[in-house]
Amino acid sequence: MMSELVGPRALDLAPRPLAAFEIGCLARQALQAGQRGRIRAVFERSFYVSIAGTEVCVGPGGLGGGPLNLRCQGTVGDWRAAALREGMAVWVGSRELRLPPHFAIALAGAAVWTPVPPDSWSAASLGAGLAALDTLLPARLPKEGLGFLALPGRAGEAAIAAAASGPADALSEFLRDAMAGNGDRTGPNLHALIGLGPGLTPSGDDLLGGAMVALHLIGRADLAEVLWHGLSSALETGTNAISRAHLTAAARGFGGAALHRILNDLLTGKGGALAARLDAIDRIGHCSGWDALGGAVIALRAYAGP
């Protein structure tokens, strides 16, 4: 979490040194010396930098690991009150990310985050993991968003549930057929999910991202590529730049650390930590963690079969 708070007086001083202790693998690729970008969005505890064709999220340790995240040992109490504004120019020096006029974030020595792959798993271990998840979901599923899609036969209560159910069923049917060696490999039309729901990363986007991450984990990157190819034409106008960046990461198999941890447990049939894993999912965004889990479990169930 935060190791220090910077008060209003500190903002009148020279650039305040902060230190990154972890950089997501895709953020590391973007934050190369000489790159220039701009502040995309500013929130209380974090902000996004648009740089090198992607979006990097800067925040404290509590932000959690992820491919686009830059986690700092020091941060401010409220970035919105710290003179950062959307559109401000930033650049990467030889060892730091410069945020004029007040801040510089040291990058040297920060660990690079990449997802931990699952241990050895099988269809049987995945079945055990999904069975353990099913015992927890009825009491845990949120009323909002698309997390209900993680549990077969569960109806969603959110306003977007009706709009998402048809495309989600089409996604599930396509994946089941493809994994059985049947069906049309061009993929279903899932454009209705792009940008569906409120928030920085809409629920429909998170659902699709979760599905693509899970497909990579089960060795079906080919199907993730089919989905990505079908979605690409709708992304530019269908959703926002930050959500596009997260979907692009998911298409390469990268999701947030909390999602990877729970998927690894499901694949290997480890049910003991699932309740704690769901607590972590619950803390991601308004319901983004659950939306991504819903999409991921659709993919896992398609692999596991009836």
Run means of pLDDT, 10 residues per run, the chain, 306 residues: 31 59 98 97 95 96 95 82 91 92 89 97 98 97 94 86 95 95 83 93 97 98 96 94 98 98 98 97 94 98 91
Residue 172 CB neighbours (<10 A)? 18
**Rounded distance between C-alpha atoms, residue 236 and residue 244, angstroms:** 8
Give residue 16's pLDDT. 57
pTM, rounded to two decimals: 0.92
Q: What pLDDT was estimated at residue 75?
A: 67
Q: Are 149 and 298 in contact (CB under 8 A)?
A: yes
pLDDT at 5: 30
Amino acid identity of residue 111, one-letter, is A
Tokens of 199: 């928030």
> 3-class DSSP state for residue 19?
strand
Predicted confidence at residue 156, as pLDDT, reads 83
- Say whether 58 sits in a helix, a strand or coil: strand
CA dihedral over 290, 294, 299, 305, signed as positive or negative: positive
How far is the C-alpha of 62 from the C-alpha of 295, rounded, in Å?
24
Give the single-character DSSP code of 240. Answer: -
* Amino acid making up residue 8: P
Give me the residue label for tokens 């993730």. Answer: 224
Q: Concatenated DSSP letters for 111-175? A: EEE-PPPP-S--HHHHHHHHHHHHHHHHHH--SSTTGGGGSTTPPP-STTHHHHHHHHHHHHHHH
CA dist 299 and 293 (Å) reads: 10
- 291: tokens are 């939306």
In this prediction, residue 17 carries a pLDDT of 64
Whether 296 and 215 have beta carbons less than 8 Å apart is answered as no
DSSP secondary structure code for residue 208 in this structure: H
CB 213 within 8 A of CB 255: yes
How many whole angstroms separate alpha carbon 41 and alpha carbon 281?
23
- pLDDT value for 171: 97
